[in-house]
Amino acid sequence: MRYGVQWLRSLLFNAQMYLAMAVIGIVFFPWALLSARGARAAAMAFCNWVRFSLHWIVGLRTEIRGNPPTGEVMIASKHQSFLDIIMIVSAVPAARFIMKRELLWAPVLGQYALRIGCIPVDRGKRSAAIKKMMIDVAKGAQQPGQLVIYPQGTRVAPGATAPYKTGTGALYLELGQDCVPAATNVGVFWPRHGILRKPGVAVVEFLPPIPAGQSRAEFMARLEREVEDASNALMREAGFDTAGSGGPDEIG
């Protein structure tokens, strides 16, 4: 019974979330056309609404830990679901993402992503994507913001593994900036697929920066170790068994 109620609440949440995306996108559209500041204001309004309504409707609170960066840095984050994107955007002043090109065709989302400076890449052509990524980053080097990349290149479910891709190391060397790792447990509550959203506390944690100047191999090893260790700790805190394939107890 409780599972069914939670599923209905999740369905209601999802419906109103996409309605809010459309409404906010339309309301802010004239300002967003004139200025990237307007597009960022729209993105921030949407993300804050999602975090509020997620707690109100399905009982899932969101928490930012650590020190969200405000300067020119690269953020390399664990990616488990749409929720970690929402939380990062709401936590830093000017996030812009390395994103898959297909998202450009998503209504509202794709147009606003371009306006805030996100960089689309073709994941099907890795070497060409990395080269294009670095060129696009260099072109936007004078734009203030925090460049967000997902080192594993895709959403990874809790308990699953995926390699950390070399493009993150290439960007770290090319930019010559500090990198702020970020860990999360959001996939425990908001999975990659499906409607159900579970109650609890979803966390994105910004870890201490990795300073510029390390070799690619040193950087990649440290990044993977710190993000995976911290994400596993957050998932265990949420009740997920990182040593096995089980998760938190089912609702109801």
Q: Give CA–CA dist 137/21, Å, rounded.
A: 27
Burial code of 36-70, b = ≥16 C-beta within 10 A, e = fewer?
bebbbbbbbebbebbbebbeebbebebebbbebbe
Q: pLDDT digit string (tens) for 203-229? A: 999 999 999 999 999 999 999 999 999
With a pLDDT cut of 90, the percent of the chain lying above it is 66
Number of Cβ within 10 Å of residue 121's Cβ equals 21
Tokens 């990874």 belong to 156
Token pair for 119: 């960089």
Quote the pLDDT of residue 248. Answer: 41
Residues in the chain: 252
What's the whole-number average pLDDT of the chain? 89
Band the pLDDT of 167: cuts 50, 70, 90: confident
- Say what the pLDDT of residue 105 is: 81
Q: Which H or E run includes 194?
A: none
Name the band, by pLDDT with cuts 50, 70 and 90, for residue 190: very high
State how far the alpha carbon of 228 is from the alpha carbons of 66, 234, 245, in Å. Answer: 16, 10, 16
pTM of the model: 0.89
- What average pLDDT score do residues 45-57 get? 98
pLDDT tens by residue, 84-142? 999 999 999 999 888 777 877 887 778 888 888 888 877 666 566 666 666 766 666 55
Q: Higher model confidence: residue 14 or residue 143?
A: 14
